[in-house]
Structure 1
Amino acid sequence: MKYSDNYTAMDRKLLMQKVQMQMSEKRFKHVLGVEETAIALASKYGASPEKASIAALTHDYAKERSDDEFQLVIRRDGFDLDLLNWGNAIWHGIVGADFVQRELEIDDEEILTAIALHTTGAAEMSLLAKIIYVADFIEPGRDFPGVKKAREIALINLDEAVAYETKHTLTYLIEQNKPIYPKTIETYNKWVANHA
């Protein structure tokens, strides 16, 4: 895919190299799977395949940063300090978008928001944010009970795929007695409870 210069000064190859340098081989393979899925969903649902590619390639850009680095940025850059009570699963999206903007010089709000919301979802999500949220869940490397059904739903109705993923994630967190980030509950209330 050839980038247009509208969202990043880098071409896809250079962006991929910069992302790859920040993560393990396994994580990078996941990122490429999310990109492939996001481009397919963007083509199906009428979003920009280029924006889907950029957001997918950068969605886990900060995933393997240290907790100390995240905590420093949360304190330094004016994030809600309640974030300090959470961990990497939440930080790498919300705070990760900040790393992408500063280090990769990607300023497109829709791309940055899609990165920020890719683990928690939100009551209000753009088409691109829904695509990255779902693509991260169903990319080809994922293998868990229910992923086949999630892939089938994603090809029929993107909003239903958001609902399915949110319910699946919440069920998992509850079964593991894990804390649930408030925005994830908002996502559930909007996409699952209101659609029932």
Structure 2
Amino acid sequence: MDIENLKVDLKERLTGGRYEHTLRVTDTAIKLAENFGESVENAKIAALLHDYCKCDPLEDMKQTIESDSNLPDSLLSFHHELWHGPVASVRIEEKYGVTNQAVKDAIFFHTTGRANMTKLDKIIFLADYTEPGRNFPGVDEVRATAETDLTKACYQAARNTVRFLMEKNNTVYPDSFHAYNDLNQQVFGGIENG
């Protein structure tokens, strides 16, 4: 894949702020991949394409969810902010021929996480959460943890996200709960963690 041509496409497709966010996520993902022994190439491609559909019309994303058998219809019952990752995981194959399932999964789950996240899943999830332009309560703690412990940092990010959504009385997509529970077990090692 020609990265420079991809960046040109993304610059035309995304808003200025979203494009700059994408570049910061990519830089963060590359550093995490280098730190934790993951394919830098896969991290770079997944990070560049993670918000590929973020600026698409909602009706277009809805039609893709309804028509593609690889996407769960249940997405439509949750906030549309969750749609762009799964839709992008389908459209990048159509547009760029991306068939690497690990890359597609990292894009699909970058907003919600999931149980049994791969290292690449964790890197994209965390890079999106901690990129330098992000500024919200708890992000500095997650950034600091991400220096040495990828799984614990993902647990902190998942915990913060679930807590934030619940405090706002928002629904929480099931994969977010599954991610939290699985990461909690990985970090704390079992049911009785005090």
TM-score by length of 1: 0.91
1:146 correspondence with 2:138: yes
Give 2:120's aligned amino acid: L
Q: CA deviation at 1:182?
A: 0.6
Q: Distance in 2 between matches of 1:64 and 1:86?
A: 18
Q: What is the alpha-carbon distance in structure 1 between the residues aligned to residue 141 and residue 8 of structure 2?
A: 33
Task: Provide Cα deviations, 1:136-176, integer angstroms capped at 9, x if missing partner.
Answer: 00001111121111110000100001100000001110111
Q: d(CA) in 2 for partners of 1:147 and 1:81?
A: 31
**Partner residue in 1 for 2:43:** 52
**Residue type matched to 1:188 in 2?**
Y
User: Which of 61, 82, 101 is the aligned partner of 2:74?
Assistant: 82
* Equivalent residue for 2:34, pick from 43, 51, 54: 43
Of 178, 181, 184 in structure 1, the residue corresponding to residue 170 of structure 2 is 178
Letter in 2 for 1:80: P
Q: Distance in 2 between matches of 1:96 and 1:88?
A: 13
Query: Is the 1:166–1:192 Cα contact (8 Å) retained in structure 2?
Result: no
Gaps of 5+ in 2: none
1:104 to partner: Cα distance = 2.0
In the alignment, which residue of structure 1 is the partner of 2:21? Answer: 30
Q: Following superposition of structure 1 onto structure 2, how do residues 1-196 of structure 1 map, counting pairs within 5 Å?
A: 8=1, 11-78=2-69, 79-192=71-184, 195=188, 196=193
Gaps of 5+ in 1: 1-7
Q: Does the 8 A contact of 2:117 with 2:179 survive in 1?
A: no
Amino acid at match of 1:135: A
Task: Using the TM superposition, give the Cα deviation of residue 86 of structure 1 relative to its aligned residue in structure 2, in angstroms.
Answer: 2.1
Counterparts of 2:143 and 2:75, CA distance in 1 = 31
In structure 2, the residue corresponding to 1:187 is in which secondary structure? helix
State the Cα RMSD in Å: 1.2
Q: 2:10 and 2:117 mapped to 1: Cα distance?
A: 25
The Cα shift of 1:193 comes to 5.2
* CA deviation map 1:7-38 (0-9, x unaligned): x3xx1110111122221000011000000000
Q: For the Cα contact (< 8 Å) 2:122–2:150, is it kept in 1?
A: yes
Distance 2:102 2:67 in 1: 24
Divergent runs of 4+, >6 A? none
Q: Distance in 2 between matches of 1:124 and 1:37?
A: 22
Q: Distance in 1 between matches of 2:44 and 2:31?
A: 10
Give the structure 2 partner of residue 5 of structure 1.
none
Q: Once structures 1 and 2 are overlaid, which stretch shifts more, 11-20 or 168-177?
A: 11-20
Where 1:65 maps in the other structure, the secondary structure is: coil
Cα shift at 1:85: 1.3
**TM-score if structure 2 supplies the norm length?**
0.92
Identity of aligned residues (%): 35
- Count residues with an aligned counterpart: 187
